[in-house]
Amino acid sequence: MADKKIDIKKKVKKEVDVRDLTICDATQQMLLKARKDGVETAFDRALDMKPCPIGSQSACCKNCSMGPCRLNAKDPYAKVGVCGATVDTIQSRNFARMVATGAAAHTDHGMAMLELFREVVRGNIADYKIQDTRKLEEVAQSIGIETVGRSVEDIATDLYEQLEATYTQIEGEIPFAKRVPPKTLETWRKYGLVPRGAMIEVMELLHRTHIGVDQHYDNITKQSSRCALSDGWGGSMVATEIGDILFGTPTPVAVDVNMGVLKEDEVNVIVHGHEPNMFESMVSSVNDPELIKAAQAAGAKGINLVGMCCSGAEMMSRHGVPHAGNFMSTEAVLATGAVDAMCVDIQCIKQGLATAAECYKTKFITTNRRAHIEGATHIEFDDHEPRACTDEIVIQAIGRFKNRSLPIEIPKITNPGIHGFSHEYINYMLGGTFRASYTPLNDNIINGRIRGVAGVVGCTNPRVKQDWVHVELVKELIKNDVLVLQTGCAQIALAKAGLYTPEAAHLAGPGLKEVCETVGMPPVLGIGSCVDNSRILIAASEMVKIGGLGDSIADLPAAGAAPEWMSEKAISIGQYFVASGVYTVFGVTFPTMEGTKFQKLLFDGLESTYGLGKWDFVADPYEMAQKMIAHIDKKRKALGIDKARERVLMDMDSRREMEAKYQAM
């Protein structure tokens, strides 16, 4: 029984059946245990905390001390703020601040990766090396750096210098703008949306939201787009590409997911957060013979390293490290009593973890200078001496293992799956190693076997049943021949539901099933953490470049969704997808008020006036799927490939023809 008990019954007025909170069996089991132990989680706090209806619709403003000003949701135009700000100004400013914060989070993460790269290139760090020189050359070439006959060091030095502009450039276009399909770029140039460095875009967006600056929702939203694009095609893309260059580009790997990956007879170390550098060092620490010996001397069979949340998704994709669960399972997993140390870096780390960890005597360790948590032990991670931090965490975990005093209950649930589909690998998988290409994907979309492509990404959120919206949405999409790409916590939700196996192809519609069986791939492809959404942008650009599906990203039969989103990063991701031309639907709730000019701009005007994508909001997964499919069909019709779909024949001849085509490529 846990030492530090909270009387949950007293705190949470209604006790809800755990099956209504999550469809994750392991999380249900642990929520019951946590209740029995008197330990509260975000699920309990969400029941206890009613969301403010005015705030959830972004109808309040506290940007100055003449307020806070709250507008009436029933009649949004009946009132204005003390300064005269209208509901459209207030909502668009609030939305802009979410974009700015989300973009800042991704770009600061990307900047940290780039700083690490610089130190490696300059020879100031010995523990990390450039692992993927092929990717280094490809990224360098994509922004016009000469690679032929040059050393890795010279190419890397040039790449660092150019990519620094992604953050610091005060005029001109960011380097990865060169990867944007020409027609999409033309639209951005026409409306002044091409980003400069992320620092200036975030700074300008925040400036504009100060009282008395930008007071036209349309103009504020333009800067929101520009800022979000500096994240998607800037900070996030740099984080992904540099991560691949330093630590290796993911290729498919079989991995187990769910809480059953914890081992009762081993020292369990969980890494949770977003940056891969600490996790990479931890891989090295847990394999250190001296530390393994120390663990054995403490009575353990070994050291078991497990990931959670997004750094977990990244390491799972790159190295096959098992994954214990997504955002809404991070407190529940502590109730197993089996976690000897949980170390965290940045983003999506609930402060409540400190209390839950204390209850179960788990060592809860923060490692990043940006993210301390009251009640946690802080062991600062330094790229120049990474093992000093990760070795110490392992030593503390061994100490906790030795002194385990609480009962252990590990849900016996693991879900196998294949993960690690980088955009490069999707190329090789479909086109073959020697003629890697997106042509077969485009062909299968044109001939109608694949109806379209959907990106289903984002968080889990206690305001909806954990994982349920993700799973139902994705099942509905693949049933209708839509190929699904996933990142972050969404990926883990579907992995737990068993959709990451090639056998899951039987849940797909006949066309998608045919393609999956021919190639041997699952109908749902996991491509990494939330920062790796940039891989979806690159895949979309490749599809445009190959031809046959229009001239811009907006022409593609594609859609995006974050059905259980919760973070400001998700809003930035949504805005950069929309500004890149993608129809993007969010679930749970949407921070605007129905009937306002601002909402009409997001849900319609961005597409109809500016030729970008557009936002939508639907809470129900089936309706969400239908809207995404309707959008995909609209795009197919505009491309003139809607008829092809009706001619699909799944007989043996067409199957042989498809196989022969793949072999010939």
561 sits near ligand MSK (criterion: CB under 6 A) = no
Cβ burial, residue 49 (10 Å; 0-12/13-18/19+): exposed
- Taking residues 194 to 233 in sequence order and writing x for each that binds ligand MSK by CB under 6 A, - otherwise, the string is ----------------------------------------
In the set 1, 49, 52, 66, which binds ligand SF4 (CB under 6 A)?
66
For ligand MSK, which is the closer residue by CB, 305 or 570?
570
What is the distance between the alpha carbons of residues 538 and 533, in angstroms, rounded to a whole number? 9
What is the distance between the alpha carbons of residues 15 and 305, in angstroms, rounded to a whole number? 34
576 sits near ligand MSK (criterion: CB under 6 A) = no
Residue 310 interacting partner from ligand SF4, ligand MSK, none (CB closer than 5 to 8 Å by kind): ligand MSK
Rounded to the nearest 5 degrees, what angle is found at the Cα of 484, between the Cα atoms of 482 and 489? 150
Is the torsion defined by CA of 8, 14, 18, 20 positive or negative? negative
In the set 4, 45, 47, 67, which binds ligand SF4 (CB under 6 A)?
67
Among the listed ranges 37-45, 66-74, 178-186, 579-587, the one in contact with ligand SF4 (CB under 6 A) is 66-74
What is the distance between the alpha carbons of residues 99 and 94, in angstroms, rounded to a whole number? 9
54 sits near ligand SF4 (criterion: CB under 6 A) = no
79 sits near ligand SF4 (criterion: CB under 6 A) = no
Within 10 angstroms of residue 154's Cβ, the number of other Cβ atoms is 15
In the set 271, 373, 471, 530, which binds ligand MSK (CB under 6 A)?
530
Report in angstroms how near the CB of residue 567 gets to ligand MSK at its nearest: 4
Binding footprint of ligand MSK, residue count (CB under 6 A): 15
Within 10 angstroms of residue 350's Cβ, the number of other Cβ atoms is 18
In 3D, which of 515, 609, 594 has the Cα closest to residue 87?
594
Side chain identity at residue 70, one-letter code: R
64 sits near ligand SF4 (criterion: CB under 6 A) = yes
In 3D, which of 591, 635, 637 has the Cα closest to residue 94?
591
**Pairing mode, strands 524-526 and 482-486:** parallel
488, 560 contact by CB (below 8 A): no
Report in angstroms how near the CB of residue 593 gets to ligand SF4 at its nearest: 15
What is the distance between the alpha carbons of residues 80 and 82, in angstroms, rounded to a whole number? 7
Tell me how far apart the 2 most distant CA atoms of the chain are, in Å: 73
Side chain identity at residue 575, one-letter code: Q
505 sits near ligand SF4 (criterion: CB under 6 A) = no
For ligand SF4, which is the closer residue by CB, 57 or 311?
57
Report in angstroms how near the CB of residue 312 gets to ligand MSK at its nearest: 9
Sheet holding 377-378, edge to edge: 303-308, 267-273, 341-344, 363-366, 377-378
Report in angstroms how near the CB of residue 525 gets to ligand MSK at its nearest: 16
Alpha helices (runs of H) in 323-369, residue ranges in sequence order: 352-359
Residue 61 interacting partner from ligand MSK, ligand SF4, none (CB closer than 5 to 8 Å by kind): ligand SF4
Beta bridge partners of 452: 482
For ligand SF4, which is the closer residue by CB, 209 or 224?
209
Among the listed ranges 40-48, 69-77, 120-128, 562-570, the one in contact with ligand MSK (CB under 6 A) is 562-570
For ligand SF4, which is the closer residue by CB, 215 or 461?
215
What is the distance between the alpha carbons of residues 248 and 318, in angstroms, rounded to a whole number? 7
What is the distance between the alpha carbons of residues 126 and 60, in angstroms, rounded to a whole number? 51
For ligand SF4, which is the closer residue by CB, 69 or 515?
69
What's the length of the chain? 665
Residue 81 interacting partner from ligand MSK, ligand SF4, none (CB closer than 5 to 8 Å by kind): ligand SF4
529 sits near ligand MSK (criterion: CB under 6 A) = yes
Residue 67 interacting partner from ligand MSK, ligand SF4, none (CB closer than 5 to 8 Å by kind): ligand SF4
* Contacts (Cβ under 8 Å, ≥6 apart) of 657: none
For ligand MSK, which is the closer residue by CB, 459 or 482?
459
61 sits near ligand SF4 (criterion: CB under 6 A) = yes
Is the torsion defined by CA of 172, 175, 180, 182 positive or negative? positive
In 3D, which of 66, 114, 68, 59 has the Cα closest to residue 89?
59
564, 459 contact by CB (below 8 A): yes
Residues 191-230 that bind ligand SF4 (CB under 6 A): 211
Residues 338-357 that bind ligand MSK (CB under 6 A): 347-348
In the set 23, 24, 35, 81, which binds ligand SF4 (CB under 6 A)?
81
Q: How far is CA 419 from the centre of its chain?
A: 14
71 sits near ligand SF4 (criterion: CB under 6 A) = no
* Contacts (Cβ under 8 Å, ≥6 apart) of 122: none
Residue 63 interacting partner from ligand SF4, ligand MSK, none (CB closer than 5 to 8 Å by kind): ligand SF4
Beta strand extents in 27-153 (DSSP E only): 60-61, 69-70
Residues 265-294 that bind ligand MSK (CB under 6 A): 274
458 sits near ligand MSK (criterion: CB under 6 A) = yes
For ligand MSK, which is the closer residue by CB, 458 or 526?
458
For ligand MSK, which is the closer residue by CB, 274 or 513?
274
62 sits near ligand SF4 (criterion: CB under 6 A) = yes
Among the listed ranges 28-36, 566-574, 578-586, 603-611, the one in contact with ligand MSK (CB under 6 A) is 566-574
For ligand SF4, which is the closer residue by CB, 224 or 567?
224
Cβ burial, residue 437 (10 Å; 0-12/13-18/19+): middle
Q: Which residues contact ligand SF4 by CB under 6 A?
A: 61-64, 66-69, 81-83, 85, 90, 211
Q: Which positions lie near ligand MSK, rule CB under 6 A?
A: 274, 309-310, 327, 347-348, 458-459, 488-489, 529-530, 567, 569-570
